[in-house]
Amino acid sequence: MTPAPRDTAATESLLAFWRDAGVDACFEEAAVDRTHVQPPPALKAVVRATAAVVARPHTNEARTEARHLAAAAESMEALATAIAGFEGCPLSGTGATQSVFARGDPAAPVLIIGEGPGTEEDAQGAPFVGQAGRLLDRMLAAAGLTDRVFITNTVYWKPPGNRSPTPQEQAVCAPFVDRVCDLMRPKVVLLVGAAAARSVLGSDEGIMRLRGQWKDWHLPEGGFSVPVMPTLHPAFLLRQPQAKRQVWADLLALTARLDGSSSAA
């Protein structure tokens, strides 16, 4: 009997759940003699995907590799190339079609860090290009920040099912995020969404408590630090439009600080 086709996003999300739960093998309800019977295509696809996840390097080893690659990148272009060739993040083997690095001006004074790419970002190879990204662009334009930002994420591959990235996945990619900030040396950083704020600030506080509060981000190497402002994710604003006034207040505070620092300089 031919198994019913599975929804790709649902299957990827289920595989990610099994991986996080520690599952490292797939079994059928009844034993199968695989020396004589070939498994159905659907099961073989699950086995291949699970094996790819299990074969990923340990988080610490992968992060060490990411740190070496990031340190060797002397430009944003070199960093993008290093990320594209990096296989240490589990997300690179769970359905993403390509790495999604950044968009904007790498010499801009504002660095924006989101959570991770979604389906449209994976298709286009750029962050924040879907519906939530278009809302972010409109808000940035209203605040006079359109040409003053460089946008990236805490991870560079689409999580299965468009879920939020896990802390382990963010930890592997963190050296690349640090290197973006080190190469760019922005005047201010906007952290978009709870996952981005927790990853960069190492905080367990909720985004509602963090948003609108200035924090300091100290890079682990080089001694550089920069003021950061956490705010709500535009995807949340699509579901809760009444929260737009809070993000608007955050953008105005960020713009005022940016312009104040520019005047002082």
Q: Which domains does the chain have, with CATH numbers?
A: 59-260 (3.40.470.10)
Residue 259 has pLDDT above 80, yes or no: yes
pLDDT in tens, 121-159: 999 999 999 999 999 999 999 999 999 999 999 999 999
Distance CA 27, CA 17 (A): 16
Q: How many CB atoms lie within 10 A of CB 45?
A: 15
Euclidean distance between CA atoms 181 and 225, whole angstroms: 9
Q: Does the pLDDT at position 265 exceed 60?
A: no
| Predicted pLDDT at 59 | 79
pLDDT at 264 over 70: no
Q: In this structure, what token pair is assigned to residue 3?
A: 């198994």
Per residue in 18-40, pLDDT (tens digit) is 666 656 556 655 555 545 445 55
pLDDT of residue 102: 98
Inform me whether the pLDDT recorded for 13 exceeds 60. Answer: yes
Rounded-to-integer distance, Cα 188 and Cα 197, Å: 14
* pLDDT at residue 222, as a whole number: 78
Return mean pLDDT, the chain: 86
Structural tokens at position 87: 């296989």
Of 50-54, 155-159, 162-166, 201-205, give the range with the top mean pLDDT. Answer: 155-159
pLDDT value at residue 42 = 56
Return the sign of the alpha-carbon dihedral for residues 65, 67, 68, 73.
positive
Task: Render pLDDT for 174-185 as a digit per residue (tens, 0 to 9).
Answer: 999 999 999 999
Distance CA 197, CA 85 (A): 26
Quick: pLDDT tens for 215-233.
999 998 878 999 999 999 9
Q: What is the pLDDT of residue 47?
A: 46
| Token couple for 121 | 């970002």
Residue 89: half-sphere exposure toward Cβ, Cα within 13 Å:
32
Which pLDDT value is given to residue 260? 86
Name which residue leads in pLDDT, 14 or 257: 257
pLDDT at 53: 47
Mean pLDDT computed over 106-115? 98
What is the tens place of the pLDDT at every residue in 70-106?
999 999 999 999 999 999 999 998 889 999 999 999 9
Better-scored residue on pLDDT, 96 or 2: 96
Mean pLDDT of 38-53: 50
Q: Is 249 left (phi over 0), alpha (psi -120 to 50) or beta?
A: alpha
